[in-house]
Structure 1
Amino acid sequence: MDILIVGAGVGGLALANGLVTDGHQVRVFERADAPRTDGAAVTIFSNGAAAAAGLGVSLDDLGAAIDTLGFFDADGRAFAHADMTLLRRWTGYRVATIPRASLLRRLAAGLPAETINYGRQVHTVETAGSGAAVVTADGVREEAALVVGADGVRSAVRRALLGSAEPTFNGWVSWQGLTVAMPELAAGAYARCVVGEAGLCGLMPAGGGLVQWWFDVDGPVPAGRPVIGWLRERFASYADPVRKLLDVLTEADVHAFRHAVHQIPSAWGAGCATLLGDAAHAFPPSQAQGANQALEDAWTLRRALSAFPVPDALRRYERVRARRVRRISSLAASEVTNKPPTSAGRLAAHLISPAMFTRLQLITIKRCSSVLNHDRL
């Protein structure tokens, strides 16, 4: 088939890899004028890595593997650890922090040179007839047998198909960056999350001397205040390495990522058009599953298209994925990991071994995973 994917992000490019392998003619329309290099890093859990491998893309050599994930109080006391090497042993796939730009380059590298069309902004989608078509911002109409909207949280394709594109922003913001800092953290395989009344600070090695860091905060920066200065004041009571990190950051290092939530209907497409990734189901990054769920979508949609005719394949894909994604979306929207644990929760975490804590993480991941459960369509 001639398939048109709107958006050259993680999900769109991953799907393109699988569909090109299956012999389809694939075009990707990306509104940016060049390959995207924005964004910090993403954590690819075992489910996302398995989905990428199933689409023909190995991520094993990208970024930095995470062997241990520690959770700490603001005063520096650990209250839980997860042994992430167990996830690799149990699933066959590692957990890693990968710069988004590196991930996009890997996904683009496996595609024919003419696949990605930059500077093509889609204005709307038409689904009448036996196929679908997009109309670009400059008025050009492009027909295809199938259109997939992978164009992000403010998706033009979602607006055309569902009549709503605007997500709900819940007030939380991730102030994040990917910088060369704190070599003692960058060189290891140890990631940490430090949580207190001010919010959560996360630090993860991302390979190449880089550290992925973020501050999840509920509420805006006061008008006129420099962000780093405000974060230093807000997180002043946090122990190292949080204070040490803030000492070396500059205003140019930090970027805002607002936490958004979409309503997730059972059918998020119409006719020969559907959605994928954030266009279908944006949710906060607090569970680190955004990129992973986009990869899961791509893996599932490819399977559906190989077994069923369009549009039946699309509706089957949507039903299967909607059930999975709602679970992680609800958990992420609660922002539970960004809030200090209760006394009972802290005690329970102390009593649970790293292996058991990791087992609980695997249970959470499998609840939202089509690839690890090999969902039937």
Structure 2
Amino acid sequence: MRVIVVGAGVAGLAVTRGLLNAGHEVEIYEEAPELRTAGGSVSLWPAATAILQELKVDYSTTGRRLETMETWAVDGRRLVTIDLTAAERRYGHPSVHVARRDLVELLTDGMPVTYGVAAEHVAPERAEVRLSDGRTVRGDVLVGADGRRSAVREALWGDDRATLGGWVTWQGFTTRPTTLTEQRRAVMIAGARGLCGLIPAGEGRLLWWFDVRSAPGKPFWDDDPHVVERLRERFRGWADPVPDILETITDIDFFPHHRQPFSAVWGRGPTTLAGDAAHTMPPTMAQGANQALEDAWSLAGAIDGLRSASGRAEPAGALRAYERARAKVVRLPARLAATEITDMHGPFAGFFSDRLATWLYVKWLRRVSTYLLTAS
């Protein structure tokens, strides 16, 4: 099979790697002039780390294995702790927090990415793309993995792009030692003013982020010149190490939350979608990169299954089956993330015992994973 992949993010790189490992011919094109490493870091749950292992990506020397996920009150009282090692024992793979840059570099290693070319015109019915450098490329299958502003999605379905969700994330890394930097604990501090998250990412780095309500033209938006001062005021007096982090902020990145209409069918003919191009969701459920890897694993398997005695088969049926199967699973996390429930979960966290919360989370991880559902 000759496959054209548009977009070299997590989904595009992973599906390319999976197909090349299976012996297919793959071309991957990326609009950015070089490797896209923007973003803080991502939590990879057991299914995602299992998929990385199947893709022959060695993540063992990067990131930080997580053992607990905790919710605190703003004064530092622990409200609930989820034991992530229970999921590791149940599914045979760890939960790992890794800088997005590190993950993308691992996925890119050895991949034939062509950078600096955009998809200017897409013909979904022919799996054909005219590129910004004047070339036209065509495959047996076309995969749009080009994010929430996907040119492939627009060619398929018109202008149904993601809309703003009313929340934003300001985030960064600190290498200044804290009580959490060398531990294996993910911490969320939820209050009426917003949410602060703290997760070790390995190599002496701690990811911190602040989620607050905002919109264009409002405080805390991208063009707010006083955002650091506003964050210090908004989260003043929160539990350690929040005050120290606020006082030492230097580099800070802005990420508005988006949500997108969800459909059970993502493609047409020999063309399909993966990752944010198919199901943009806010980061509040920590599922974006995980679902991108799930898409890649499922799609690579569907395409590889098209092999026949002659080496050729019509791809449309297999692609629609991939979309339906993935849509059944990804619909729930996408819709829950769109509610921003994690940013508002503080008042409810104390109602659950650690044991119950852990049991529910282990079940949840299976429910939102095609990989784990298939394996079971």
TM-score of the superposition, structure 1-length normalised?
Answer: 0.92
> Following the alignment from structure 1 to structure 2, what is the Cα–Cα distance between the partners of residues 123 and 181?
44
Show CA shifts across 1:347-377 (max 9, x none): 422xx13x4322211222222110001179x
Could you list the runs of 5+ residues in structure 2 that have no partner in the other structure?
307-312
| Contact 2:160/2:261 (<8 A) preserved | no
> Following the alignment from structure 1 to structure 2, what is the Cα–Cα distance between the partners of residues 292 and 205?
18
> Following the alignment from structure 1 to structure 2, what is the Cα–Cα distance between the partners of residues 85 and 365?
13
| Contact 2:179/2:241 (<8 A) preserved | no
Show CA shifts across 1:300-327 (max 9, x none): 1111112244011110000001111110
Residues matched between the structures, number: 364
Instruction: Report the Cα offset of residue 37 of structure 1.
Output: 2.4
> What secondary structure does 2:325 align onto?
helix
Q: Which amino acid aligns with 1:196?
A: G
> What secondary structure does 1:304 align onto?
helix
Q: 2:116 aligns with which of 119, 124, 145?
A: 119
Residues 302/104 of structure 1: CA separation in 2 closer, same or farther (3 Å cut): same
Could you list the runs of 5+ residues in structure 1 that have no partner in the other structure?
none
Q: Which residue of 1 aligns with 2:252?
A: 254
> What secondary structure does 2:292 align onto?
helix
Q: 2:132 aligns with which of 137, 147, 158?
A: 137
> Following the alignment from structure 1 to structure 2, what is the Cα–Cα distance between the partners of residues 298 and 224?
37
Q: 2:284 aligns with which of 267, 283, 286?
A: 286
> Following the alignment from structure 2 to structure 1, what is the Cα–Cα distance between the partners of residues 30 and 160?
18
> Following the alignment from structure 1 to structure 2, what is the Cα–Cα distance between the partners of residues 54 and 92?
13
* RMSD (Å) for aligned C-alpha atoms: 1.7
Instruction: Report the Cα offset of residue 7 of structure 1.
Output: 0.8
Residues 23/188 of structure 1: CA separation in 2 closer, same or farther (3 Å cut): same
Show CA shifts across 1:231-282 (max 9, x none): 00111132222112111112xx111111111112111111111100000000
| Contact 1:15/1:55 (<8 A) preserved | no
Q: 1:162 aligns with which of 130, 150, 157?
A: 157
Q: Which residue of 2 aligns with 1:30?
A: 30
> Following the alignment from structure 1 to structure 2, what is the Cα–Cα distance between the partners of residues 83 and 205?
16
Instruction: Report the Cα offset of residue 328 of structure 1.
Output: 0.3
Show CA shifts across 1:80-123 (max 9, x none): 00111111111111111101111111111143xxx110111112
Aligned identity (percent) is 39
User: Aligned pair 1:15/2:15, yes or no?
Assistant: yes
| Contact 1:153/1:282 (<8 A) preserved | yes
Q: Which residue of 2 aligns with 1:76?
A: 76
User: Aligned pair 1:333/2:330, yes or no?
Assistant: no
Q: Which residue of 2 aligns with 1:153?
A: 148
Instruction: Report the Cα offset of residue 49 of structure 1.
Output: 1.2
User: Aligned pair 1:60/2:60, yes or no?
Assistant: yes
> Following the alignment from structure 2 to structure 1, what is the Cα–Cα distance between the partners of residues 224 and 164?
22
**Which structure 2 residues correspond to residues 196-211 of structure 1 after superposition, within 5 A?**
196-211=191-206
Task: Using the TM superposition, name which of 358-367 and 189-198 deviates more.
Answer: 358-367
State the 4+ residue runs in structure 1 displaced beyond 4 angstroms.
none
Residues 270/77 of structure 1: CA separation in 2 closer, same or farther (3 Å cut): same
| Contact 2:178/2:241 (<8 A) preserved | no
> Following the alignment from structure 1 to structure 2, what is the Cα–Cα distance between the partners of residues 84 and 78?
16
Instruction: Report the Cα offset of residue 48 of structure 1.
Output: 1.3
> Following the alignment from structure 2 to structure 1, what is the Cα–Cα distance between the partners of residues 303 and 323?
12
| Contact 1:154/1:165 (<8 A) preserved | no
| Contact 1:41/1:178 (<8 A) preserved | no
Q: Which residue of 2 aligns with 1:265?
A: 263
Q: Which amino acid aligns with 1:210?
A: R
Q: Which amino acid aligns with 1:33?
A: P
Residues 142/234 of structure 1: CA separation in 2 closer, same or farther (3 Å cut): same
Q: Which residue of 2 aligns with 1:219?
A: 214
> What secondary structure does 1:200 align onto?
strand
TM-score of the superposition, structure 2-length normalised?
Answer: 0.92
Show CA shifts across 1:55-81 (max 9, x none): 332423320111111101112111000
> Following the alignment from structure 1 to structure 2, what is the Cα–Cα distance between the partners of residues 11 and 224?
32
> Following the alignment from structure 2 to structure 1, what is the Cα–Cα distance between the partners of residues 65 and 350?
29
Show CA shifts across 1:119-157 (max 9, x none): 1111231133xx411112344311111110111111111
Q: Which amino acid aligns with 1:233?
A: E
| Contact 1:320/1:375 (<8 A) preserved | no
